[in-house]
Structure 1
Amino acid sequence: MSGLVRVLVSALLILVAAAAEARTLRLGYQRSSTLIALLREDGSLEKALQPLGVTVSWHEFTSGLPIMEALNLGQIDVSADVADTVPVFAQAAQAQIVYVAEEAASPAAQAILVAGNSPARSVADLKGKRVAVTKGAGSHYLLLAALAAEGLSFKGISPAYLTPADGRAALASGGVEAWVAWDPFLSAAQAQGGARILRDGTGLSLYKRYYFASESFAAKNPDVLAILFARLRDTGAWVKARPDEAAARLAALWRLDPAVVRQANDRRSYTVEPVTRAGLAEQQRIADAFLAEGLLPRAVDTAALGIWEPPTR
């Protein structure tokens, strides 16, 4: 073998090895994924992953259920924060996923809204009315729980399954009597559209938000998940420590008034924690509620879902 050929072969082997070591984190998120929005904007996640040779590709979705569908189909590796209801539907679809992290309960960060001039004064007044809700979102369970508290079933209303943007438009146009929303959509509808809260999640739904990874990605990339967990935890703490600065940054990204974003952030905990089995107690109640209303195709044992554990600090 000539010297030139040896050089070329060596160079090729180096390139092959580099390609084998290169990794990509495909991250799915939605507009309300506050911590991910900040990490994407400042590039700090990419910087933290750079020493591992990991790049990040960002994939935006309208809500949590499409994110989890993409995760189940292998189109992304990790889902940003989705509401507590979403994994229940993913389990029913037999998704191979694991919990990575949670944001602590934020019950006031979602609510049932009506127009400012609506005659409705309680959830009971929605009987027989058309109500916009995003299928599978945390707001979906809030609606079930609020109806049950009034002795009503889901069949007692006429649901309109809409994205957050379409739900807000339907409420503004009078196409629906009520809309179940979460922040920042909730705060924006109050400030910009004069919407009125009929009932929020306090006493009805904890409204935790979870991060997930596919089982295969979690098994092969614990170092990547450890860095992601640390960056999420630190960013959540920063939002609460610097609320005005956080609101200003997010307002520019979301094209909202900083005061609206500040209100939305005040309703969210942004406390990122490891997931524990004891902390998942409400998940089974959520699954049973959806099953009872015929909204799940099969019963789900929420305790069967795996939990990834971050390294101790």
Structure 2
Amino acid sequence: MSLFSIRKLAGAGLLALSALAVFPAHAADKVRIGYWTSGVSLGYGSVLEATDFLARHGIEAQYVHFPEVNGPIRALAAGSIDLAFGAPLAGVFSAAAEGVPVRIFAATQPADVQFVVPADSPIQHLQELKGKKIGMSPAGSSVAAIASAVLSGNHGIAANDFSLIGGNESRLVQFVAQKQVDGAALRSVTIAQLGDALQVRRLGSFAQEWQKLTRSDAVPYIGVGTASAAFADQQPEVVARVIAGLRDTLAWGKSHPDEIVAILRKSANLPEADARAYVSLWDSMNRASFEPEEIDTLRRQHQVFAESGLVKGALDDSLFSTQPYALSKNIR
């Protein structure tokens, strides 16, 4: 059962876009943008590539696809890309602690993830997952970090009290269908796309469990916009225009659901029902913001991850590059 059959985006000019105000004309800046071609990243990346909002802001984007969740972080460390959207937050924290020169410039993917079990499972509560096999994004991903933190903090299930079975979304669905795992952490969009093909029971959401753990109303993030430190520090205005393009893409997507469906059917080979399920959750899965409250949430996530032993080292505030986002607010 494959929800995401990844194909290289084919052809330009998939649709005609309504005119928007464009950043003042100048020679386009080439920016190498990386993303993980699975889950939420695949859908948003497909829409970003199929539209021209970055170009309208003077960005000549070169997209680099990664089949593995931490691929963009390794590419940033190696200097083979300039920035990534949806980079796994836990991996970014760990890379920064190890001395990799990176900067976070936006919060891009809220943790819209659910803990589920097969509908006929005897497991009724999260604490019953102790000693079980749980499918989720691979170790080192933000999903794995948040899942481990809330299972430990809220339910007394330490990291060594369950077996993490890693995989991308389509693989995790196969694990659940074939009873190779007892439960899984699946994105809400994946569950919506399952329809009647696989019945699951929800045990709790990441948002609910995080709010219980932190005693706050904050929603955690699994993905962030991340750039090499040199690129963010030396070219904040270019990063600002990337943020403006990301923001315009999100706004356009909210009001053009049929066009997004067409893009996803072509670029990701999604059936129409699956594409529409993705569109129905567009706002809950995607962001391009970096307000103080979001930075506070990221700081809190680092604290929780560190207390759980999931990330090492102290948080250096220089990791948060706020100038590009501030500049982007003046771009229309």
2:30 to 24, 29, 53: 24
2:297 to 282, 285, 294: 282
Does residue 141 of structure 2 align to residue 137 of structure 1?
yes
Identity of aligned residues (%): 21
Counterpart in 2 of 1:92? 97
- By how many angstroms is 1:132 displaced? 1.7
Helix, strand or coil for the counterpart of 1:309? helix
Asked if structure 2 preserves the Cα contact closer than 8 Å seen for 1:123 and 1:199, the reply is yes
**Residue 114 and residue 256 in structure 1: after superposition, are their counterparts in 2 closer, same or farther (change >3 A)?**
farther
- By how many angstroms is 1:68 displaced? 1.4
Counterpart in 2 of 1:212? 226
* 1:147-226 correspondence runs (5 A): 147=151, 148-182=153-187, 184-189=189-194, 192-205=197-210, 206-208=219-221, 209-226=223-240
Asked if structure 2 preserves the Cα contact closer than 8 Å seen for 1:27 and 1:56, the reply is yes
**Residue 48 and residue 302 in structure 1: after superposition, are their counterparts in 2 closer, same or farther (change >3 A)?**
same
Asked if structure 1 preserves the Cα contact closer than 8 Å seen for 2:220 and 2:297, the reply is no
Helix, strand or coil for the counterpart of 2:34? strand
- By how many angstroms is 1:164 displaced? 3.1
1:41 to 37, 44, 50: 50
Q: Write 1 or 2 for the structure with the bigger share of helix.
A: 1
Helix, strand or coil for the counterpart of 1:300? coil
Q: How many aligned positions are there? A: 286
Structure 1 or 2, whichever has the larger Rg, is: 1
Does residue 263 of structure 2 align to residue 263 of structure 1?
no
Tell me how far apart the structure 2 counterparts of residues 240 and 83 of structure 1 sit (CA, whole Å).
24
* Unaligned 5+ runs, structure 1: 1-20
**Residue 166 and residue 89 in structure 1: after superposition, are their counterparts in 2 closer, same or farther (change >3 A)?**
farther
Tell me how far apart the structure 2 counterparts of residues 200 and 279 of structure 1 sit (CA, whole Å).
19
* Unaligned 5+ runs, structure 2: 1-26, 211-218
User: 1:16-42: CA deviations, max 9, x gaps?
Assistant: xxxxx9853111112322433212123
Tell me how far apart the structure 2 counterparts of residues 106 and 80 of structure 1 sit (CA, whole Å).
12
Helix, strand or coil for the counterpart of 1:166? helix
TM-score (norm 1): 0.79
Helix, strand or coil for the counterpart of 2:324? coil
Asked if structure 1 preserves the Cα contact closer than 8 Å seen for 2:119 and 2:200, the reply is yes
**Residue 100 and residue 287 in structure 1: after superposition, are their counterparts in 2 closer, same or farther (change >3 A)?**
closer
Counterpart in 2 of 1:12? none
**Residue 244 and residue 174 in structure 1: after superposition, are their counterparts in 2 closer, same or farther (change >3 A)?**
same
1:115 to 114, 118, 124: 118
Counterpart in 2 of 1:75? 80
**Residue 200 and residue 190 in structure 1: after superposition, are their counterparts in 2 closer, same or farther (change >3 A)?**
farther
Tell me how far apart the structure 1 counterparts of residues 76 and 189 of structure 2 sit (CA, whole Å).
24
Asked if structure 1 preserves the Cα contact closer than 8 Å seen for 2:193 and 2:273, the reply is no
**Counterpart amino acid of residue 232 in structure 1:** L
